[in-house]
Amino acid sequence: MNNILKNIVADHGPILVLDIGAKGGPFFELNNIRDLCCYFCFEPNPAMMKDLPGQKETIQEMTNLKPDAIYTFPYAVTHRTGDVNLYVTRRPGGTSTLKPNADVLGRFSKDNWSQVKDVIKTITVPSITLEEFLVSAGINRVDCLKLDTQGNELDILKSSGNLLKSISVIFVEVEFIQMYEDQPLFHDISLFLHRNGFELVDVKIDPAGRRFHARPDLPYDCYRAIWGDAVFVRTHDMYESFESLYQGFVLAGLGYADIAIDIFDKHKTLSGSEKKQLELFARQSAEPNTFKGKLKRCLERIFGLEIHRYNWLRGKQVKSVN
């Protein structure tokens, strides 16, 4: 790992990551910076919570926040503090504090994913607002907020109150149809964040986020997009704080090397040599670290120009005009 990152984190403390909806394990998608992060994981479903790593403590018991630490909490994060209903569905990944929208999900009855509409039990779980957690834990900034809570992501964002401005990068699952009753959709979340000083960086839709109505044997891009992950970044023009450097670290960790390098280039506290080192870190972080990912990247490099810049209508390469 780049020594300059270690030195900055040693001076200013760990990169703070909130993972709300941590079923399946903490948000380790931050390539090359995982060991510099302190994770706060929330999972209200007891069946999922018991398998999470890390220290299972109350908020008041957290001490000595340090890199590579994981704290887990059995809370739902919602618009209010107290007890809320959690609707556990036949498909565990569909469990939510919102009721499934049976009418909409029923349109995908030939796709097993529609089992999200089947509630097998309702349990009561403790809930907390994002603002109350941050205040109680004494956290005055969030470098990365990951949300995957099956429909109530906008409520969580609104529950941060004035502390929304302390959040730097948001990685949020978004839906394009109402899988849950009265669920805000992607455009609602995007508009709210836009009005509060965030810009959209990307919307990622994996094959699993596309579902079928009629035929399971078609190419996945024949199916409609149901959900994806959207990445938002807080805009600012202050390039002398360590918080803005951490924003660059998180974006690089997520693979957005270009915007991370732009932040490093503009940062007023870095020397030319340090900027070059951080650019190298950003480039390296954008590289896949699995065999499958490396093979895919290799094929993209061999054939990517032809695939992405070929004008299939006119039969020639599309080139930029200088």
Rounded CA gap, 265 and 157, in Å?
30
pLDDT value of position 316: 59
Cβ-in-10-Å burial (0-12, 13-18, 19+) of 41 comes to buried
pLDDT in tens, the chain (322 residues): 578 999 999 999 999 999 999 887 888 888 889 999 999 999 999 888 877 877 666 676 666 788 988 999 999 999 999 999 999 999 878 999 999 999 999 999 999 889 999 999 999 999 999 999 999 999 999 999 999 999 999 999 999 999 999 999 999 999 999 999 999 999 999 999 999 999 999 999 999 999 999 999 999 889 999 999 999 999 987 788 999 999 999 999 999 999 999 999 999 999 999 999 999 999 999 987 777 777 777 777 776 655 555 565 666 555 554 4
Class of 3-80+129-287 in CATH:
alpha beta
Number of Cβ atoms within 10 Å of the Cβ of 295: 11
φ/ψ of residue 205, rounded to 5 = -125, 105
pLDDT value of position 290: 75
* Coil, helix or strand at residue 146: strand
For 108, the token pair is 């995908």
Amino acid at 204: K
Rounded CA gap, 117 and 121, in Å?
12
**DSSP annotation string for 34-96:** GGGEEEEEE---HHHHTT--SEE--GGG--S--TTEEEEE--EE-SSSEEEEEEEESSGGG-B
How long a stretch of residues is the chain?
322
Contact (Cβ atoms closer than 8 angstroms) between residue 112 and residue 193: no
For 2, 59, 131, 132, 169, the CA distances from 140, given in Å and listed in that order, are 26, 15, 10, 12, 14
Rounded CA gap, 311 and 274, in Å?
40
Q: What's the number of CA atoms in the CB half-sphere (13 Å) around residue 198? A: 26
Tell me which DSSP letter residue 96 carries. Answer: B
Going from N- to C-terminal start, the domains of the chain cover: 3-80+129-287, 296-322
Contact (Cβ atoms closer than 8 angstroms) between residue 94 and residue 45: no
pLDDT value of position 120: 95
